Amino acid sequence: MIVKTPPLGWNSWNTFGSNINEQLIREMADAMVETGLRDAGYEYLVIDDCWSLRERNEKDELVADPEKFPSGMKAVADYVHSKGLKFGMYSCNGTLTCAGYPSSFDHEFIDAKTFADWGVDFLKYDNCNRPLSYSGRLLYKRMGLALANCGRDILFSACNWGAEESQNWIKETGAHMWRSTGDINDSWASIKDIAEKQVRLLPTNGQGCFNDMDMLVVGMGGKGNVGMGGCTLEEYRTHFSVWALFGSPLMIGCDIRNMSQEIKDILMNKEILAINQDPACRQPFAVPMIQEDWFAWKAWVRYLEGGDIAVGFFNFGDTPLYPTLALTEIGLGRVSGKALRVRDIWADKDLGVRKDHLSVYMEPHCCVMLRCSVVDA
Ligand code: GLA
């Protein structure tokens, strides 16, 4: 199975934590269709930790908690599939999951078969409670091999938070995406921290195995399992833009049954999603300009398939900024005889043709996302 663009979907953890059940998952499947998220490309509906009983059955298999999931996981998977979505589940490489439920250590092949029998299409695989003598590097390979031999295409989403320098070996394991940083929470500080830590890992991102910056907090509004202070709309827009431009999988974490129009407009912005899903999956580069502190201001540029250029300006600082990007820094400039036709995506505005530079204005924590086409000067 080859995954060509960053996976898109929804995951239960950020808002619901252990408070999950069959009814909720069915409602989420319905909401993915009714809100238009599915048609915008969000495909996977993923149940995170806390879905199982505390004990395996007599055949040593994992068992869905019958109080939470009275119809069983196969029925839930069938419902999710009937909505034109794909179904994801969660396990872990240790003896217990991060929340203390039975986990797949030494049960990799039997669990992969169980997931395949239920109709699972995506497995998030965590990194807690590992016996000390086993490396993640080995245990992720075990599950990668088990999934590759389970008789069903199951996307392997490794979740080891970038531990053990996993950027150096994660592709050995068969992972299709891998958590490159620690857990997100619904605060501006967390968004900023993850974005900054991602920078050195960008060269490892690419088609087939994507750097996962963690589930989105867009729209959480400080509520739910990882809800902290919450963020402003502008901060959510910047968060979404960075994740999209950096080529991360986009797994929504808010309660999609109750999204405001503003939140829908962020999560379903077609032009931002098109950059995230650009088939070339190239890494963005920082334009080497201006100040030492990359958060102060810096443009992130990504060459897209077909010759267009995406440019993201992010103001992670606390004062307004007016950055300028010289076109010579991105391969153009007077001598090329070319210029850029510029579109401001969030403002939904065509800005005309620029020959020398791009200048924008940003309030603190805001961003500007441009899509530019190369034209004759
Ligand atoms: C870890 C993961 C989270 C979530 C929890 C569940 O912390 O990084 O994304 O899956 O475990 O317990």
Is residue 349 a part of any domain in this protein?
yes
Question: Do residue 114 and residue 142 come from a single domain?
Answer: yes
Q: Is 18 in the pocket of ligand 1 (CB under 6 A)?
A: no
Question: Do residue 271 and residue 301 come from a single domain?
Answer: no
Is residue 107 a part of any domain in this protein?
yes
Is residue 3 a part of any domain in this protein?
no
Query: With bands split at pLDDT 50, 70 and 90, how would you rate the model's confidence at 287?
Result: confident
Question: Do residue 104 and residue 225 come from a single domain?
Answer: yes
Strands in 309-314's sheet, in edge-to-edge order, are 285-286, 299-303, 309-314, 367-376, 338-344, 349-354
Query: With bands split at pLDDT 50, 70 and 90, how would you rate the model's confidence at 221?
Result: very high
Q: CATH number, domain at 179?
A: 3.20.20.70
Which numbered atom of ligand 1 lies nearest the CA of 214?
9
Residue 366 has φ and ψ, to the nearest 5°, of -100, 175
Tokens (6 digits) for 93: 């490489």
Is residue 120 a part of any domain in this protein?
yes
Query: With bands split at pLDDT 50, 70 and 90, how would you rate the model's confidence at 87?
Result: very high
Angle between helices 73-82 and 108-118 (to 10 degrees): 50
- Report the distance separating Cα 315 and Cα 331, nearest Å: 24
Domain boundary among 255, 276, 297: 276
Residue 239 is predicted with a pLDDT of: 98
Residue 226 has φ and ψ, to the nearest 5°, of -110, 15
Domain boundary among 229, 248, 276: 276
Please indicate whether residue 183 is annotated as part of the active site.
yes
Q: Within 13 A of 306's CA, how many CA atoms are on the CB side?
A: 9
Smallest CA-to-CA distance from 119 within 96, 144, 71, 87 is with 87
Question: Do residue 171 and residue 214 come from a single domain?
Answer: yes
Query: With bands split at pLDDT 50, 70 and 90, how would you rate the model's confidence at 297?
Result: low
* CA 367 / ligand 1 centre spacing (Å): 29
Average pLDDT, stretch 235-239?
98
- Report the distance separating Cα 350 and Cα 242, nearest Å: 21
Torsion angle of alpha carbons 290, 294, 295, 299, nearest 10°? Answer: 60
- Report the distance separating Cα 300 and Cα 311, nearest Å: 6
* Residue 353: domain span: 285-376
**Prediction pTM value:** 0.97
Question: Do residue 176 and residue 134 come from a single domain?
Answer: yes
Question: Do residue 115 and residue 186 come from a single domain?
Answer: yes
Domain boundary among 276, 298, 316: 276
Is the model's pLDDT at 291 over the cut of 50? Answer: no
For residue 10, the surrounding DSSP H or E stretch is strand 8-11
In sequence order, which residues have a C-beta less than 8 Å from that of residue 340 and are 6 or more positions away?
309, 327, 332, 353, 354, 358, 372, 373, 374, 375
Note the helical H segments in the chain. 13-16, 22-34, 37-40, 73-82, 108-118, 136-148, 188-198, 233-245, 261-267, 270-276
Is residue 326 a part of any domain in this protein?
yes
Question: Do residue 298 and residue 242 come from a single domain?
Answer: no
- Per the listing, tokens 């939470």 go with 68
Catalytic residue among 49, 111, 121, 126: 126
Indicate the top mutation candidate among 15, 48, 122 to test ligand 1's pocket, ranked by most ligand atoms within 8 A of CB: 48
Is residue 310 a part of any domain in this protein?
yes
- Total domains present in the chain: 2
Q: Is 48 in the pocket of ligand 1 (CB under 6 A)?
A: yes
Is residue 259 a part of any domain in this protein?
yes
Question: Do residue 50 and residue 198 come from a single domain?
Answer: yes
* CA 270 / ligand 1 centre spacing (Å): 29
- Report the distance separating Cα 76 and Cα 61, nearest Å: 18
Question: Do residue 140 and residue 225 come from a single domain?
Answer: yes
- Report the distance separating Cα 254 and Cα 226, nearest Å: 10
Q: Is 98 in the pocket of ligand 1 (CB under 6 A)?
A: yes
Q: Interior CA angle at 17 toward 11 and 20, to 5°? A: 80
Please indicate whether residue 126 is annotated as part of the active site.
yes
Residue 292 is predicted with a pLDDT of: 45
Residue 206 is predicted with a pLDDT of: 92
Question: Do residue 226 and residue 296 come from a single domain?
Answer: no
The least confident of 83-92, 182-191, 229-238, 286-295 is 286-295
Average pLDDT for the chain = 95
Is residue 2 a part of any domain in this protein?
no
Reported as a single tens digit per residue, the pLDDT across 111-157 is 999 999 999 999 999 999 999 999 999 999 999 999 999 999 999 99
* CA 263 / ligand 1 centre spacing (Å): 24
Q: CATH number, domain at 361?
A: 2.60.40.1180
Q: Is 49 in the pocket of ligand 1 (CB under 6 A)?
A: yes
Q: Is 212 in the pocket of ligand 1 (CB under 6 A)?
A: no
Question: Do residue 205 and residue 292 come from a single domain?
Answer: no
Question: Do residue 174 and residue 266 come from a single domain?
Answer: yes
Indicate the top mutation candidate among 19, 93, 98, 217 to test ligand 1's pocket, ranked by most ligand atoms within 8 A of CB: 98
